[in-house]
Chains A and B, each alone.
Chain A
């Protein structure tokens, strides 16, 4: 009891020493700008409900800016609202709307630059070109924000959460809609993207470049203009994400370009035009994923090598695997294919004849896309059957040597 009291007292003492500045229409401090300038390092600013139109506010001290009862900051489509630079800063529970747009500067609702240990939590950001723009920062947390963009054209719209040259960041539980790219990573290392939901963005749900040693898991990327792109990165781990309904001529569940040594595990790809598109990627482990009702589950270009596809389930895809060459440098083993028609005499759950996941018609389409009009015609299925019996056009060695009879329970 005594120790508890001691803790309580010391906490109170801490709060008192930290100091609280209340900003609100009926408080002493009416303006947030004034509040920020009055605050000393370690202070907390409580922002009470109201509409604040104060242009750009720069926070460079160690302060906590906490919204009480959803105060609104309005940028009047002219200003960048918050610029944060420094360490140990918290922004929480505030609605930002109408940030400015400029074709010269990347104005954002919240811009974090040259900072460390910043927490941006539970904010609402509405109608901004860039919502949260982070540059040259480390060890910060972006969590629980709801971001709704104005969904204009690709060039006049910005990214939902934009990170450039950061390290050790955590982007968690955010929901992003209607921006150019939902989440944008460039030169970001050792960071996690967890449980976010990125939908209906004009370009990519997640755009990922030159970012090594990152991990993204449990995210949902749905109905984005071009799906998710992961490019020029090493050691990226992607786990338990959902990639759904990314439809279009250049839309992919994931576009992998020049990716090395990554892992793609336990993800679900549903109803994408292309589930995974791989180009120039090597040493990736793709395992235990579910590919369902995609146009093409996996497109592996001939420039990929040493990738392994193990224990995945393929159901109801128009085409399971397609490729543009005959050389096979990737390995498929132990996957379940719903198109497999072999048998299992020794009843060990593994089919006795190898499965050729690339169909003849898949190769034909690759050469002459117009023939898509013949999809599911009697002639095409005859061609596929003939090709299965005597392979001539399809890559002979692209086989799954251990096709499963029953789907994996994942």
Chain B
């Protein structure tokens, strides 16, 4: 499995797309830190990148990579290797390269300019989101045979997680505003990895606002050790379940 992962990694690095992604992130992060005199403002802009760009690139790259290495996968399937192993090596290869690119592109500038709890949370959130969305993209591409359909569904999923979902949450909160919705909101937040990531950074950035009436509940929950554990566990679940489903589909799939 390690050997296979290594081949996948070589392949990815040779294509230079990941390198371009890392350089892009690095340029953006450094220029943000240079432009804004106030580092917390730069972190705020980086937050948007982490929440929007990282899931998008992770998903699109994963899908394209999957379809491009379809022949390689077919070749591997003709060898005496288990299907689980092949897909997991593919996943490991992609996830490792994406996380490495993220750590280089965002992690290094953040550690240089603003190595405080907010920055560290930002790095962890970005890495977690990379893992989650790589896994979701694997599910989508294993499910769809057609490349166009795969990329289309991935784009839709990205749109759903980063925009539509929050709209739905707001709709629900307004529709049921007569009821105590605070606890339910916690559940709603847990059902979207982007929201989970956003909230964990928000807890560091907007402490003062969160100490208000409803915010205090969110802070008490997500800010406590249990909350941090919960967020990490939910991120893991968000990685594990799509990946596991992808594995199940892949095993039964008629290539």
Q: Given that A376-B47, A378-B48 are contacting pairs, would A318 and B213 also be in contact in the complex, using a CB cutoff of 8 Å? A: no
A364 CA to B171 CA in the complex, in Å? Answer: 12
Against A, the Cβ 8 Å flags (1 = close, 0 = not) of B187-218 are 01100000100110110011111111111101
B52 at the interface (CB under 8 A from A): yes
Question: Which of B174, B207, B212 has the largest number of chain A CB atoms within 10 A?
Answer: B212
Q: Contact between B185 and A373 (Cβ–Cβ < 8 Å)? A: yes
B229 at the interface (CB under 8 A from A): no
The binding surface of chain B is classed by DSSP as helix
Partner of B211 from A248, A375, A381 at Cβ < 8 Å: A248
Residues of B within 8 A of A248 (CB): 211-212, 216
How far is the CB of B160 from the nearest CB of chain A, in Å?
12
> Which of chain B's residues 145-179 have a Cβ closer than 8 Å to chain A?
162-163, 166-167, 169-170, 173-174, 177
Residues of A within 8 A of B212 (CB): 248-249, 273-274, 295-296, 369, 372
Q: Contact between A251 and B211 (Cβ–Cβ < 8 Å)? A: yes
Q: Given that A273-B212, A373-B185, A382-B163 are contacting pairs, would A295 and B170 also be in contact in the complex, using a CB cutoff of 8 Å? A: no
A379 CA to B212 CA in the complex, in Å? Answer: 22
Residues of A within 8 A of B181 (CB): 370
Residues of B within 8 A of A376 (CB): 44, 47, 198, 201-202, 205-206
Which residue of A is nearest B52, CB measured? Answer: A378
Residues of B within 8 A of A318 (CB): 206, 208-209
Q: Contact between B211 and A249 (Cβ–Cβ < 8 Å)? A: yes
Q: Contact between B214 and A374 (Cβ–Cβ < 8 Å)? A: no
Q: Contact between B166 and A380 (Cβ–Cβ < 8 Å)? A: yes
Residues of B within 8 A of A271 (CB): 207-208
Q: Contact between B211 and A374 (Cβ–Cβ < 8 Å)? A: no
Residues of B within 8 A of A315 (CB): 38
How far is the CB of A336 from the nearest CB of chain B, in Å?
12
Question: Which of B41, B48, B166 has the largest number of chain A CB atoms within 10 A?
Answer: B166
What is the size, in residues, of chain A's interface with B at 8 Å between Cβ atoms?
34
Q: Contact between B41 and A338 (Cβ–Cβ < 8 Å)? A: yes
How far is the CB of A214 from the nearest CB of chain B, in Å?
28
> Which of chain A's residues 346-369 have a Cβ closer than 8 Å to chain B?
364, 367-369
Which residue of A is nearest B209, CB measured? Answer: A295
Number of cross-chain contacts by CB at 8 Å: 102
Q: Contact between A249 and B166 (Cβ–Cβ < 8 Å)? A: no
How far is the CB of B62 from the nearest CB of chain A, in Å?
21
Q: Contact between B41 and A369 (Cβ–Cβ < 8 Å)? A: no
Q: Given that A374-B166, A380-B166 are contacting pairs, would A316 and B195 also be in contact in the complex, using a CB cutoff of 8 Å? A: no
A378 CA to B215 CA in the complex, in Å? Answer: 19
How far is the CB of A375 from the nearest CB of chain B, in Å?
6
A153 at the interface (CB under 8 A from B): no
A355 CA to B202 CA in the complex, in Å? Answer: 25
Residues of B within 8 A of A368 (CB): 173-174, 177
A140 at the interface (CB under 8 A from B): no
Q: Given that A249-B213, A368-B177 are contacting pairs, would A378 and B205 also be in contact in the complex, using a CB cutoff of 8 Å? A: no
Against B, the Cβ 8 Å flags (1 = close, 0 = not) of A113-156 are 00000000000000000000000000000000000000000000
Q: Given that A368-B177, A379-B163, A379-B170 are contacting pairs, would A319 and B209 also be in contact in the complex, using a CB cutoff of 8 Å? A: yes
A272 at the interface (CB under 8 A from B): yes
Which residue of B is nearest A377, CB measured? Answer: B166
Residues of B within 8 A of A338 (CB): 38, 41
Residues of A within 8 A of B169 (CB): 373-374
How far is the CB of B131 from the nearest CB of chain A, in Å?
20
Residues of A within 8 A of B182 (CB): 370
B40 at the interface (CB under 8 A from A): yes
Q: Contact between B216 and A374 (Cβ–Cβ < 8 Å)? A: no
Q: Contact between A316 and B209 (Cβ–Cβ < 8 Å)? A: no
B132 at the interface (CB under 8 A from A): no
How far is the CB of B117 from the nearest CB of chain A, in Å?
14
* Residues in chain A within 8 A of chain B (CB atoms): 247-249, 251, 271-274, 293-296, 315-316, 318-319, 338, 364, 367-382
* Residues in chain B within 8 A of chain A (CB atoms): 38, 40-41, 44, 47-48, 51-52, 162-163, 166-167, 169-170, 173-174, 177, 181-182, 185, 188-189, 195, 198-199, 201-202, 205-216, 218
What are 22 pairs between A and B in contact, CB < 8 Å? Answer: A247-B211, A251-B211, A293-B208, A294-B208, A295-B209, A295-B212, A318-B209, A338-B38, A338-B41, A364-B170, A368-B174, A369-B213, A369-B214, A370-B173, A372-B214, A373-B195, A373-B199, A376-B44, A378-B48, A378-B52, A378-B166, A379-B167
17 further A-B contacts with Cβ under 8 Å, apart from A374-B169, A376-B202, are A248-B212, A249-B211, A249-B212, A249-B216, A273-B211, A293-B208, A294-B208, A294-B209, A295-B210, A370-B185, A370-B214, A372-B215, A375-B202, A375-B206, A376-B47, A376-B205, A377-B195
